[in-house]
Copies of this chain bind each other. A is one copy, B any other.
Amino acid sequence: MMIVPTLRQLEYFVAVIDHGAFHSAAKACGVSQPGLSAQLQELERQLGVVLVERARPKVLPTEAGAALLERARALLLGAQDLTEAARTHARPFTGPLRLGVIPTVAPYLLPSAVPALRNAHPDLRLFIHEDETDRLLEQLERGHMDLLLLSLDAQLGDVARLAVFDDAFQLAVPTDHCLARRKWVRESEIAGEALLLLEDGHCLRDQVLDLCHATGASESTDFRASSLGTLVQMVAGGEGITLLPSMSIEIEGRHANLATIPFRRPAPARTIGLAWRKTSPRGAEFEALAPLFRPPKRQPR
């Protein structure tokens, strides 16, 4: 069996489509434009099909090119996985670990988790990327991320996942709110309230919104916060109430005019966990890393 395309040719092909231009694709691949051009031509010659239409503002895949693009991507990803499988086998817990974390988890969990990771596995080169669930998942599928730390309550699609811990919600109200002095509240007690929520794209927003529908609460209109920090500022300013994940309270809850009240059990919660591509060669590693992402033990009072 003679192998027809080379991985290098496929890499160039994918790069050209992704960049929409030869010269920038060439730069991204670390080669000169003529070099890339020649390889792509050779690929097209060998396959007997024109893959990219050299249109003016932007090169576009032909029909055939579009049909082969995903196969090419899958092959390149498979090659990457193979090398990673080799390294993992030779020396586990080494090499790059591209970790994606959602914005409503990163600032609260990473300060403890990152040192723990570095300490337990000093040869792991950690790259952290913070983004919303959907974009993280796309990056994961494309092989630009290795591991995600996020809420497993969101729609994750066909990925391997492992729950790490549950993160209960608490009610956050201004100190002059009628519930501010309560030791706990029932879920049903937020019925009729209008909650301040995060802006679109945050999985936390979607989950709390679902909770609103289930309990008879609603979303406070006119304003959506871009972070939990902003949200807390607004609650403390008397603009409304909201739900905060417990992990955020130690940091976000230190605010005059803000009271946080736990829910009575069973409290509504999100499940924080890890996700990775099912075909990732490092699944076993990731499972072993999971405990390091648990929140640090609070001092018993």
A residues engaging B (CB < 8 A)?
1-8, 10-11, 30, 46-49, 63-64, 67-68, 71-72, 74-76, 78-83, 85-87, 89-91, 281
Q: Which residue of chain B has its CB nearest to the CB of A7?
A: B3
Q: A47-B87, A86-B47, A86-B64 are in contact. Are A80 and B11 (CB under 8 A)?
A: no
Report, nearest first, the 7 A-B pairs whose CB atoms are least far apart: A47-B86, A4-B83, A64-B89, A71-B82, A49-B90, A3-B7, A49-B86
CB-CB under 8 A for A48 and B90, given A71-B82, A78-B75, A81-B71 = yes
Q: How far is the CB of A44 from chain B (nearest CB, A)?
A: 9
Q: Hey, which chain B residues are within 8 Å of A2, CB to CB? A: 30
Given contacts A63-B89, A67-B89, contact A79 B4 (CB under 8 A): yes
Q: Find chain B residues with CB under 8 A from A7 CB.
A: 3, 5-7
Q: In the assembled complex, how far is the CB of residue A208 from the closest CB belonging to chain B, in whole angstroms? A: 39
Asked if A6 and B5 make an inter-chain contact with CB atoms under 8 angstroms apart, the answer reads no
Q: Do A68 and B90 form a contact, CB below 8 Å, given A3-B76, A7-B6, A11-B3? A: no
Q: How far is the CA of A10 from the CA of B82 in the complex (A)?
A: 10
Nearest-neighbour CB distance to chain B for A1, whole angstroms, equals 7
Supplied contacts A3-B11, A63-B89, 10 more A-B pairs, CB within 8 Å: A1-B76, A5-B82, A6-B7, A6-B8, A10-B82, A67-B89, A71-B85, A72-B82, A75-B75, A75-B79
Shortest distance from the beta carbon of A145 to any chain B beta carbon, whole Å: 14
- Chain B residues with CB under 8 Å of A63's CB are 89
Please report the C-alpha to C-alpha distance between residue A150 and residue B7 in the assembled complex, in whole angstroms: 35
How distant is A39 from chain B, measured CB to nearest CB, in Å? 12
Instruction: Point out the residues of chain B lying under 8 angstroms from A85, CB to CB.
Output: 67-68, 71
Pick from B48, B80, B82, B281: contact of A1, CB below 8 A: B80
Shortest Cβ gap from A158 to chain B (Å): 14
Cα distance A7–B6 in the bound complex, in angstroms: 6
- Contact between B68 and A82, CB atoms less than 8 A apart: yes
Chain B residue contacts of A47, Cβ below 8 A: 83, 86-87, 90
